[in-house]
Structure 1
Amino acid sequence: MLHDALAAHHIHTVILGDYLSGAAGELSALQFPVLWVVEGEDYSLARQLVDRYLQDPEPDQAPWRCSRCGEMVEATFDICWNCSTIRH
């Protein structure tokens, strides 16, 4: 989710360990995926976006209309399924 949210702001990220859940029981519980921001100059904005994203754990309960393409999107999603625009 964070990867997609940052990509919508043109911030290139890489997820390291994305498939670690497939080795559940074989790896230490301390092993988990990590999101890396590729370009150093994007880090500050990425950190702000992640902080804002994490501060709002309760999504709106009603579906929302995408401001870019007009599609209706379920309340549990913050990114439009049709055009990848982030909910405002």
Structure 2
Amino acid sequence: MKTAVKEIKVGLNFGSGIQSVGRLAIRNSIIYFEYDEAFLQSNLEISPIKLSLKRGVIELPKNPFEGLAGVFNDSLPDGWGRLLLIVY
């Protein structure tokens, strides 16, 4: 039985523990992101052009990264990795 994922929490770890960045959610095939309030105070830009530091929910565009901001898409398996996941 599959369980639906309601949200994915995003964090950074520079060696001193996980710092909460925000959360991703999907609704009607559209992906949304919202920064954690504490992370906004850090002024650390993880994707300054496409995902600027601001409050509120951000709707991510469908292209070019299948609905994800590039900073998140880069952490996923590439084509070869996806093929391995499907086969095994």
TM-score with structure 1 setting the length: 0.29
Q: Which structure's CA Rg is the greater one? A: 1
TM-score (norm 2): 0.29
Higher strand proportion: 2
| Larger relative helix fraction | 1
Q: Which has the higher contact order (CA 8 A, sep 6+)?
A: 1
